[in-house]
Amino acid sequence: MDIAGIVTVANLSKRYGSLIAVNDISFSIRQGEIFGFLGPNGAGKTTTINMMIGLARPSGGSVAINRIDAVKDIKKAQSIMGIVPDESNLYDEMDGFDNLCFCGSLYGMSKAKRENRAKKLLERFDLTNAGKRPFKAYSKGMRRKLTIAAGIIHEPKILFLDEPTTGIDVESARQIRRLLLELKRGGTTIFITTHYIEDAERICDRIAFIVDGGIVAAGTVPELMKSVSHGYTIQLAADTDLKPLAEELQIHFDGCIVKTEKNNSATLFSEKRIALSPVLQYLDGKGVAVFEAKELRPTLEDVFVKITGIEAARLKKERERGGMVK
Amino acid sequence: MKTGIAFWNIIKKDIKNYYIKPPNISWGIIFPLSWTLMQLTRSSGVMNISDIRGMLPGLMAMSVLFGTTSMLAVTITFERKGHSFDRLLLAPISLSALVIAKLSGAVLFGIFNAFVPVAFAAFFVDLAGINWGEALLIVFLIAVTSTLLGLMIAVSAKEVFEAQTFSNFFRFPMLFLCGLFLPISSLPVFLRPLSYLLPLTYGTDMLSGTIIGASVLPPVLCVFIMLVFTAVIFIYCQYNIRKKWIL
């Protein structure tokens, strides 16, 4: 794996007694990219992020943030980090505006600068009207958004987000994804942990899968897809049973394997990419009306399931536990 | 400069969020006042207002002790539980600066508490001739050591109720052991060494010297011992925070 990055993690480990929470992981994050850290609950995502931001001490290995040894000099590294933990850590008694200003002050921002930035962030997150309300009166989505705003008030070079869209509504999740992409365009490097594979697929440049404390795969989304995808698939839904035509289709489209279903549908597999129009024309010539035809691509979830051996059902269960509506 | 901004804003936030809230202000006023009145009426059931000056060192020391230990222990435990303390740990300020900032709010609250009985006494007796600068310095030292005791409790407690229980476990015996209202010489011999292990003993003795001219120990020794206590508890608390809160 590429080691020349703004963040370099090498042979990082964390043990709690006999339990190995993170086991000898290495990866690097390039400047200006969104790096996704994916894994099921308990895989070691939060422990890893905690070691990177200074809330946990590594049992072994190193973390370098912008060439600063974050294990030895975490305070220096923290000055360029923005941190959004999985649980909102703002002050319930303070209002939104004061919370943001206080967080800005922790990074040494002047009063005028932090107030100005707080106003802009409240506006950006549609929280202007809620700015004078105490944080404890915020909804879950609003709390999440304000926590993210607090994490970026000082315009950090690197932003760490732990499960940023867990348990919030669709619109807030969308807003957060949009913001992350905007920050990326502005040059911010983003490290994000999530167990929502769809989130990672939408916004991450590169992804690492962590299971049981170890990284099992890493790369760009297409690279990861390629590692499990062997061929192309077309799915058809017609007005009649396609079984009698299966053999003809296989002969007509060389190298194609056809699997038919009872509900007048069929799936065509091929090593080479199959264009849809010749298939549709062929079936039309046979008097078959096709209602639906689509190319099926493997999703990142397929990749994850294949690589990690974790069943989709378990992921679905976790998603339901997280309470996210997607 | 940057640390200064963070430091000042942590103090300001603590004062605004915790110390100037009505329940704490009323606690800071009513509690020392009640103790003053209780002490004045304790033996004969009749208020003897001329005794108040003699009781001031004990009342002031007690007010600081109760004001600081519980407040810091409870507020830090509360922030730990709500994860907002993590935000402070993640800020680019040193742990020492953070700890001192957290202590400062409680120290100021303790000093305010200490002067409630003084303000009350000023209505009834002549307090002229007391070196108030010296008294303030001693109150400051008592507040620092008591606040550190509160921090020590906060590091050991996970829940707010635990912090309250621990702080009472320390504070109530100190009322009797540190010469606040009973001279140490009147304590059973086997308890006296324990008295000299507690920093409040030295603070109270210095206050007695300043306010009623009745100290037992040399002030320089008392200041030295209190500074040693401060340094030891401060280092111990920092060590424990690193060990327990940065896992």
- Per residue in A35-74, pLDDT (tens digit) is 999 988 888 999 999 999 999 999 999 999 999 999 999 9
CATH number at residue A274: 3.30.70.1560
Of B8, B83, B90, the CB nearest to A53: B90
CA angle B144, B150, B156 (to 5 degrees): 140
Is residue A54 assigned to a domain?
yes
Residue A279 and residue A175 share a domain:
no
Taking the Cβ of residue A116 and every Cβ of chain B, the question of whether any pair is shorter than 8 Å is answered with: no
Residue A269 and residue A219 share a domain:
no
Share of chain B above pLDDT 70, in %: 96
* CA–CA separation, A103 and A148 (whole Å): 11
Residue A290 and residue A183 share a domain:
no
Q: Residue A102: what are its φ and ψ, rounded to 5°?
A: -65, -45
Rounded to a whole number of angstroms, the distance from the CA of B234 to the nearest CA of chain A is 20
CB A9 within 8 A of CB A63: yes
* CA–CA separation, A28 and A14 (whole Å): 18
Is residue A326 assigned to a domain?
no
Residue A254 and residue A199 share a domain:
no
Residue ending a domain, choose from A192, A211, A227: A227
- For A98, name the nearest residue in chain B, comparing CA atoms only: B13
Of A56, A83, A107, the CB nearest to B247: A56
Residue A251 and residue A206 share a domain:
no
Is residue A130 assigned to a domain?
no
Residue A172 has pLDDT above 50, yes or no: yes
Query: Which residues of A167-211 form beta strands (DSSP E)?
Result: 189-194, 206-211
* CA–CA separation, A315 and A47 (whole Å): 20
pLDDT value at position B88? 93
Residue A168 and residue A291 share a domain:
no
Is residue A321 assigned to a domain?
no
Residue A218 and residue A195 share a domain:
yes
Rounded to a whole number of angstroms, the distance from the CA of B90 to the nearest CA of chain A is 7
DSSP code at position A71: T
Residue ending a domain, choose from A227, A258, A288: A227
- In the predicted model, what is the mean pLDDT of residues B186-202? 92
Please tell me the total count of domains within chain A: 2
Is residue A131 assigned to a domain?
no
CATH number at residue A44: 3.40.50.300
- In the predicted model, what is the mean pLDDT of residues B124-137? 88
Is residue A88 assigned to a domain?
no
Size of interface A-B (CB pairs under 8 A): 73
In the predicted model, what is the mean pLDDT of chain A? 88
Cβ–Cβ below 8 Å for A56 and B94: no
H-run or E-run covering A296: strand A290-296
Partners of residue B97 in chain A, C-beta under 8 Å: none
Domain that holds residue A265: 231-296
Residue A276 and residue A176 share a domain:
no
Is residue A85 assigned to a domain?
no
Of A90, A93, A106, the CB nearest to B91: A106
Q: Which residue has better confidence, A176 or B22?
A: A176
- Name the 3-class secondary structure at A210: strand
H-run or E-run covering B164: helix B160-177
Residue ending a domain, choose from A227, A257, A281: A227
Q: What is the DSSP string of A24-49?
A: EEEEEE-TT-EEEEE--TTSSHHHHH
Residue A43 and residue A74 share a domain:
yes
Beta bridge partners of A158: A81, A189
Distance of CA B60 to the CA centre of its chain: 10
* CA–CA separation, B97 and B109 (whole Å): 19
- In the predicted model, what is the mean pLDDT of residues A191-215? 89
Partners of residue A55 in chain B, C-beta under 8 Å: 86, 89-90, 246-247
Q: Which residue has better confidence, A312 or B139?
A: B139
Partners of residue B238 in chain A, C-beta under 8 Å: none
Is residue A313 assigned to a domain?
no
* CA–CA separation, B211 and B215 (whole Å): 9
CB B125 within 8 A of CB B52: yes
- B230, two tokens: 């401060």
Residue A257 and residue A236 share a domain:
yes
- For B75, name the nearest residue in chain A, comparing CA atoms only: A91
pLDDT value at position A70? 93
Residue A287 and residue A164 share a domain:
no
Rounded to a whole number of angstroms, the distance from the CA of A105 to the nearest CA of chain B is 5
Burial of A304 (0-12, 13-18, 19+ CB in 10 A): buried
Taking the Cβ of residue A107 and every Cβ of chain B, the question of whether any pair is shorter than 8 Å is answered with: yes
Beta-sheet pairing, A265-270 with A34-38: unpaired
Q: Per mean pLDDT, which range of A56-70, A254-268, B97-111 is the poorest?
A: A254-268
Residue A285 and residue A164 share a domain:
no
Among the listed residues A166, A173, A164, the one whose alpha carbon sits nearest the alpha carbon of residue A319: A166
